[in-house]
Amino acid sequence: YAESHSVVNYLLAMYGPQPMSELLSLLTSGETVDDALVRSYGMNLDALEAEWRVAVRGLFAYA
Question: pLDDT per residue over 25-36, tens digit each?
Answer: 999 999 999 999
| Rounded Cα gap, residues 18 and 62, in angstroms | 33
Which residue stretches of 1-63 are H helix? 2-15, 17-28, 33-41, 45-59
Q: What is the pTM of this model?
A: 0.85
Q: Find the Cα–Cα–Cα–Cα dihedral 19, 42, 25, 51, rounded to 10°.
A: -70
Q: Is residue 63 part of a domain?
A: no
Question: pLDDT per residue over 14-56, tens digit each?
Answer: 999 999 999 999 999 999 999 999 999 999 999 999 999 999 8
pLDDT band with cut points at 50, 70 and 90 for residue 61: low
How many domains, the chain? Answer: 1
Q: Is residue 62 part of a domain?
A: no
Q: Is residue 32 part of a domain?
A: yes
The dihedral built from the CA positions of residue 22, 53, 14 and 12, taken in this order, carries a sign that is positive
pLDDT of 13 higher than 70: yes
Range of the domain at 13: 2-57
